[in-house]
Chains A and B, each alone.
Chain A
Amino acid sequence: METLERLIEEHPFCHGMEKGYLELLVGCASNARFDAGQYVFRQGEEANHFYLVRHGKVAIEIHAQERGAIILQTVGEGDVIGWSWLVPPHRWMFDARAVEQTRAIALDGECLRRKCEEDHNLGYELLKRFAYLMAKRMEAARLQLINIHGPLD
């Protein structure tokens, strides 16, 4: 548990979080490892976790029948995967596939949802962090939408 606590504390997502909340997180946490090619989750599955990536690379993607998998974004060290655990109906909206061997800390969403309901301060603390994360993702998605790396043909 010592190690897990330190890993959580050191993850950018948790920077500056109160000790008490960190302990609560540790109570819902476990180590996770994904081999290259392994799916962290698939679209439509129940979303009961989120992941603090320690190292490796995970592709967030959509599978289109005729085009195969389209990678929307890759996440790696210091990033977070998944917020569907937080929003009803608690099902994954995309696939997440490990591109290379990836180590992460899995946080039990059911456990956290319960704790957030009991302690709204914890809920607010987590929502603030997820709101930031979601805003960054949306900003990046919008920039991708307009092809910021080069003019359109």
Chain B
Amino acid sequence: MALSTDSAMTSPVANPMIPVPWRVQKARRETRDTFTLTLRPANGEPLPAFAPGQFNMLYLFGVGEVAISISGDPADQENLVHTIRAVGTVTRPMQRLKRGAVLGVRGPFGSPWPVEEAEGNDVVIVAGGLGLAPLRPALYRLLAHRQQYGRIVLLYGARTPRDLLYQRSLDQWQTRSGIEVAYTVDAAAEDWRGNVGVVTTLISKARFDPVHTTAMICGPEVMMRYVIMELEKLGVTDENIFISMERNMKCAIGFCGHCQFGPTFVCKDGPVFRYDRIEPFFKLRGV
């Protein structure tokens, strides 16, 4: 039987399946295996505005496509900033792109960090490794509306000092009044003046009011698990903890099934989840 579908139900993205050409405005090496691309529309065709925490699908002509979180300032919608780890068949050649090169972009997709809901609260941001990239837009938003929040704490862990992302920004944020920044590494040589140890060790030392805190966490799942335990121990409730999940994302629009996580699709129900809503599944293995 024929079916008529309501055309009002179409998505906010014009055709969410087709990449739109964007041009590399700036390519910058971050660490030995990460780099940041700043993109602008190649033919004036903009994408819908993104919210902190969302991601795009970046396409390298003929090679393939990868899901990459947006790591730029949400107040600047003209430039799309992505920090990418060169690990696969698509991201390795992407690392060699120079200014002027063209990429395909689809997006933005996914759920945002609760930056507005967090107003009035203290905000604790905990990042592990590349997990700082999807949290940076949230941090920009918090800083732009600094007076709307209580204390803001950024805790960040990386493997070694040379794996620390955005180190210049970290130091700037650290000296900026009203935001507490602490970062740590897993291992370091003698000349390192910073902290050594896992990111969880920073939590109990940070100053915030656990009862009125919104926590935003992004990093490997195991890191998030231990961070959540530490926050819960201090009295932060699960409704106030938000985590960004990573799963294999191919279509980004809920059709391909790859990013299923229990009853959710990470691409459209996530990647940012309120912890209490996925807690039973987050605690299971192999889901």
Please report A residues at the B interface, Cβ cutoff 8 Å. Answer: 57, 59, 61, 67-74, 76-78, 99-100, 139-140, 143-144, 146-151, 153
Residue-by-residue, is B57-92 near A (CB-CB < 8 Å gives 1, otherwise 0)?
000000000000000000000000000000100000
Q: How far is the CA of A147 from the CA of B163 in the complex (A)?
A: 12
Q: What is the predominant secondary structure among interface residues of chain A facing chain B?
A: mixed
Per the bound structure, the CA–CA distance linking A139 and B187 in Å amounts to 15
CB distance from B136 to the nearest CB of A (A): 16
Q: Is B129 an interface residue (CB 8 A)?
A: yes
Q: Which of B152-172 contact A (CB under 8 A)?
A: 157-159, 163
Q: Please, how many angstroms separate the alpha-carbon atoms of A63 and B223 in the complex?
A: 28
B25 at interface, CB cutoff 8 A: no
Q: Which residues of B contact A72 (CB under 8 A)?
A: 187, 196
Top-5 shortest CB links A-B:
A150-B129, A69-B190, A148-B223, A149-B128, A149-B157
Given A148-B226, A149-B129, A61-B190 contact (CB < 8 Å): yes
Known: A100-B193, A149-B129, A149-B223. 14 other contacts (CB 8 A): A59-B196, A67-B189, A71-B187, A71-B196, A73-B196, A74-B196, A140-B200, A144-B187, A148-B222, A149-B128, A149-B199, A150-B163, A150-B219, A153-B87
Check B130 against A150 for contact (C-beta < 8 Å).
yes
Q: How many A-B residue pairs have CB under 8 A?
A: 86
Contacts of A147 in B (CB 8 A): 159, 186
What residue in chain A is nearest B246 (Cβ atoms)? A151
In the complex, what residues of B have CB within 8 A of residue A69's CB? Answer: 189-190
Contact of A150 with B200 in the complex, beta carbons under 8 Å? no
The interface bits of chain B over 223-238 (1 if a CB of A lies within 8 angstroms of the residue's CB, else 0) are: 1001000000000000
Please report B residues at the A interface, Cβ cutoff 8 Å: 87, 128-130, 157-159, 163, 184-190, 192-201, 205, 219-220, 222-223, 226
Closest CB-CB distance, A50 to chain B, in whole Å? 19
Residue among B158, B188, B194, B205 facing the most chain A CB atoms (10 A cut-off): B188
Task: Give the docked Cα–Cα distance between A70 and B189 (Å).
Answer: 5
A151 to B190, CA, bound (A): 24
Chain B residue contacts of A59, Cβ below 8 A: 190, 196
Q: Is the CB of A150 within 8 A of B158?
A: yes
Q: Please, how many angstroms separate the alpha-carbon atoms of A103 and B243 in the complex?
A: 38
Q: Is the CB of B197 within 8 A of A144?
A: yes
B205 touches A140 (CB 8 A): no
State whether B205 touches A73 (Cβ < 8 A). no
Instruction: Supply 18 A–B pairs (Cβ within 8 Å), ascending by A.
Output: A57-B193, A59-B190, A71-B188, A72-B187, A74-B195, A74-B196, A76-B205, A100-B193, A139-B226, A143-B226, A144-B197, A144-B198, A147-B159, A148-B223, A149-B129, A149-B159, A149-B223, A151-B220
